[in-house]
Amino acid sequence: MSSDAEIRLYKMLAETGDAGAQNRLGLISQNGEGVPQDYAEAIKWYLKAAQQGYAPAQNNLGWMYQNGKGVAQEDAEAFKWYLKAAQQGSADAQNNLGWMYQNGKGVSQDDTEAFKWYLEAAEQGSADAQNNLGWMYQNGTGVPQDDALAIKWYLKAAELGSADAQNKLGWIYQRGKGVKQDDAEAIKWYLKAAEQRSAIAQYNLGLMYSRGLQDYAEAARWFLKAAEQGIADAQFNFGLILEEGRGVKQDSDSAAVWYGEAAEQGHAEAQLRLDKMKDK
């Protein structure tokens, strides 16, 4: 939260043409820090700084165009600003540019070019880019498939705190893809991601505890966390645990509620269990 005095100082500096202060005012307006959130005001300040060649503002402006905040959504304009920032060495912009190439947004789809920009960002320590590189190596997208290199980049990202990379490492160790299968190592990485509220990691932990380790109380705990974040499979599995009373007190009524949540998302098995309960 920015204080009134800080905002006044930034405005004074911004009016003199200080690009860093202009970018900071953009962030303050975008995030509503001590002022009402105002995307149009954020755009105004980002543009002033970006036009001076200030890479962080160029990247922020790209994000606003990509997401249609304060301006009409326009991928080509987002790409333009990401490119300007990326060419100046902004790791965030390089990662964003990689994503645009990978998904064909604002530019022709090009996995080779996506890999190039992810690598630029990853080598600067961008955890998101390192995670994206890991995915490309794991799936052989834009590069030859290589489990060892996938693990290398996932590990770098995971050690920097990327919950997505931590979850992917858990999956790799659970299945023994490019490494020796190791449930303890899988749980370690799933847990790191789950503690960051990664819903898919919470669900994966629930599966490990319910199927392999058969600790249903622990499975229920993680299924519930994932279910509360809207993961349909977790809602179904938590309902199943409640209906069968495994590791928790048997509760058909609560099971029906969770089956209903999953069924509303199109989960066929949940709908089937719900229909069977109604027929009893």
Q: How far apart are CA 196 and CA 198, in angstroms?
A: 6
pLDDT of 135: 98
> CATH 1.25.40.10: does it fit domain 197-280?
yes
Q: In 10 A of CB 20, how many CB atoms?
A: 15
Backbone angles phi, psi at 266, to 5 degrees: 90, 15
In angstroms, the Cα distances linking 102 to 47, 51, 98 are 26, 27, 6
Q: How far apart are CA 78 and CA 99, in angstroms?
A: 12
What is the rounded (10 degree) CA torsion for 232, 234, 240, 243?
A: -90
Tell me which of 3.40.710.10, 3.40.50.1820, 1.20.1050.10, 1.25.40.10 is the CATH number of domain 1-90: 1.25.40.10
Same fold, 1-90 and 197-280: yes
User: Tens place of pLDDT for every residue, the chain, 280 residues?
Assistant: 567 889 999 999 999 999 999 999 999 999 999 899 999 999 999 999 999 999 999 999 999 999 999 999 999 999 999 999 999 999 999 999 999 999 999 999 999 999 999 999 999 999 999 999 999 999 999 999 999 999 999 999 999 999 999 999 999 999 999 999 999 999 999 999 999 999 999 999 999 999 888 899 999 999 999 999 999 999 999 999 999 999 999 999 999 999 999 999 999 999 999 999 887 6
pLDDT of 1: 53
pLDDT of 213: 82
Where along the chain do its domains lie? 1-90, 197-280
Buried b (16+ CB within 10 A) or exposed e, 52-81: eebbbbbbbbbbbbbeeebbeeebebbbbb
pLDDT of 257: 96
